[in-house]
A and B are shown apart, each in its own frame.
Chain A
Amino acid sequence: MRRIYESGALHRDDEHFTPNKRDRSYRPQALRSLNSTRLSRSLLPNRFGYRAISISVSTPREEFASDTAIPFQVTMKNTLPVPVTVPTNSPVLWTWDVDGTTNASRVPLHDPPEESGAFVFDRGERKQFTKGWQQLFRVSESEWEPAEPGEYTIGAEVNVDNADKKGLRGTTTVRIVPETATDADGR
């Protein structure tokens, strides 16, 4: 008898998020003739692996009125023609932050299991993630405070020690201006 959890019954096409859906980065490697994770680990010393990945953050504008969401895009690219796997400190593969505050939260949001993760990039792969900062800092489990007008750095980095030094961090700067000031600009 086929058991329910071996069947396709857990897949729903109406779900935004299907629990057992495989993330592309967890694609079963047994299906390939070569295990790319192992291959890239054996071929590339980590420091070359790091160098292969570039990461950048971009926003549509530099200036945003207070109280508007700031959308930003994180782009990661594997510049090598071979697959590259970056071992990460935990299953959290990368994080974003505002002025170094991860997820714009002053309280830790996640308590990932104590095991390492693997961020897999196909040959030449470009990954793009669209996120948004609501101009709020989370100050407790249930409270948020607005960010004052001023300059902020939005960063994104792969979850490794000293990501910046390894070239696995990208940043961009945005300015929050009081609403009246933008109105005066005629926007």
Chain B
Amino acid sequence: MTLLEVNDLTVKFYTQDGVVTAVDNLSYQIESGEKFGVVGESGAGKSVTALSLMRLIDSPGQIESGEILFKGEDLLEMSEEEVRNIRGNEIAMIFQDAQTALNPVYTVGEQIAEAIRHHLGHDEAEARERTIQLLDRVGIPEAETRFSDYPHEFSGGMQQRAVIAMALSCDPDLLLCDEPTTALDVTIEAQILEELEELADDFDTAIQLITHDLGVVAEVCDRVMVMYGGKPVEKAPVEELYYDPKHPYTVGLMSSIPRVGDDRDRLQTIPGTMPDLVELPPGCSFHPRCPYAEESCTRKEPPLLDPETGEEAAGTANEHAAACLEYSGELQGGLDYSVEINDSQGEPTAVNPEGDRND
């Protein structure tokens, strides 16, 4: 069943520098229990997308058009009261910075128990018991004693586990995770991602995982959407994206996945920075950074296309689509990269000869 369906979502911010189009005509869907990844660098519109789902876009931001159907009902048409009911109950959110999500003056246990009482109407003893179970379930040792610890007594990883426990406390159908492990070190990150994946299966919760790190998506997700400049540039099941990336930006992101023993500065791998969202480059917004860009790329914006047929993508759940003029036959030089399987880790790596030359 389709749990979430976002259709033609456009979000703009009216600032004195100009109109920031943070999300432009975005469509995607997430099935019940599915793990969906949204990947891109800072400023790609990932977080704004998540905030829109929670209807948390503040002035000067405006959700300008589109619909967000959650279980068939448009979140954008609901009253504030109805949305509040959904927030936390049916859609929960986990952020990068666990510390800001926890109140320093209450114990971790109290905060989770309070959420349970508030959303599920349990009495104090029941809420306490369920909290301890949850803390234990998310991998916090000696949950019963840790219940009365304050957030600062938890390590970063433990804090994030506590936040996950809080998010899961009301048994949500959709968990929005925005860079949930970015602040943590790599070993803890791997543990938490594994935990998150298991929990989502156990609780039958769908996940929308937002990250700049394609490696994280590979760990957890079934399907991926790569965003650039507020728009999706590639959508695919995760394996296809890995073994057969179709958009040069995806290839760039792949070659920037950090690897053990590789100490290149990962941010250098795709030269250039995310464009100004007030004034996107004309044509394909990726063209100033794309090693394959030609004149046509500066004159025409490619829609999401089926790479095999060159037809416009139908928007079905499992399709592979990419927004590059290569697939409409308008690129003369073609794309020229290859994917290598890295023996030691069995993970594919994109090799982008032109990109290296441009470094």
Residues of A at the B interface (CB closer than 8 Å) are 1-2, 4-5, 7-10, 12, 14-17, 19-20, 23-26, 91-94, 109-113, 117, 119, 127, 129, 131-132, 134, 136, 138, 141-146
Contact = CB atoms under 8 A, between A and B. Distances in A.
* Residue of A23, A25, A113, A138 with highest tally of chain B CB at under 10 A: A23
B279 to A, nearest CB: 6
A23 B54 CA distance: 22
B277 A7 contact: no
A93 B299 contact: no
Contact of B101 (A4, A19, A142): A4
23 contacts: A1-B106, A4-B100, A5-B56, A8-B97, A9-B96, A10-B47, A10-B95, A12-B96, A16-B273, A17-B13, A19-B48, A25-B16, A26-B59, A93-B16, A119-B16, A129-B18, A134-B281, A134-B298, A138-B282, A143-B300, A143-B301, A144-B299, A146-B299
Interface residues of B, number: 50
B60 A91 contact: yes
Contacts of B255: none
* Residue of A1, A94, A111, A117 with highest tally of chain B CB at under 10 A: A1
A136 B118 CA distance: 56
Contact of A113 (B62, B101, B279): B62
Given A1-B103, A24-B16, A111-B64, A17 B22 contact: yes
A19 B51 contact: yes
B279 A131 contact: yes
Contacts of A7: 100-101
Contacts of A146: 299
Contact of A19 (B47, B274, B303): B47
A22 B17 CA distance: 12
Nearest to A93: B16
A43 B116 CA distance: 53
A136 B300 contact: no
Nearest to A111: B64
B314 interface: no
Nearest to A4: B101
B334 interface: no
A26 B283 CA distance: 32
B310 interface: no
B161 to A, nearest CB: 16
B61 interface: yes
Contacts of B60: 23, 26, 91
B20 interface: yes
Contacts of B16: 23-25, 93-94, 119, 127
B12 interface: yes
A123 to B, nearest CB: 17
Nearest to A145: B299
Given A92-B19, A111-B64, A112-B19, 6 more contacts: A2-B103, A14-B42, A17-B277, A91-B62, A110-B19, A117-B14
Contacts of A138: 282
Nearest to B281: A134
A109 B115 CA distance: 43
Given A4-B101, A7-B101, A9-B97, A144 B282 contact: yes
A54 to B, nearest CB: 16
Contact of A15 (B43, B59, B114, B302): B43
Contacts of A132: 279
Contacts of A5: 54, 56
B343 interface: no
Given A15-B42, A138-B282, A144-B300, A20 B58 contact: yes
Interface in B250-307: 273-274, 277, 279, 281-283, 298-303
